[in-house]
Amino acid sequence: MSAIVNVLRELIGLVVDDGRLALWIVAIVALAAFVSHVPGAAVAAGAILVFGCLTALIASVMTAARR
């Protein structure tokens, strides 16, 4: 039973390990959703998603590397 609990803890840790990264991703998705409602801005919303998420990920990795 403890092996199952350990596996579940690891899985949860993968998802909620970095709270700041999760908040940034939610903010980026919200911004992209807002922009996507503007007529003709689908490409801009996609670019916000791609570049925003990549930037958030790189910033998170750089912060973790400093620790």
- Length of the chain equals 67
State phi, psi for 38 to the nearest 5 degrees: -80, 130
What's the whole-number mean pLDDT along residues 39-63? 92
Dihedral over Cα of 6, 66, 20, 44: its sign: negative
Separation CA 57–CA 51 (nearest Å): 10
Q: Does this model's pTM top 0.75?
A: no
DSSP one-letter code for 37: T
* Confidence check: pLDDT of 33 > 90: yes
pLDDT in tens, 6-32: 888 877 776 666 778 888 998 999 999
Per-domain residue ranges of the chain? 18-66
- For residue 22, what pLDDT is reported? 82
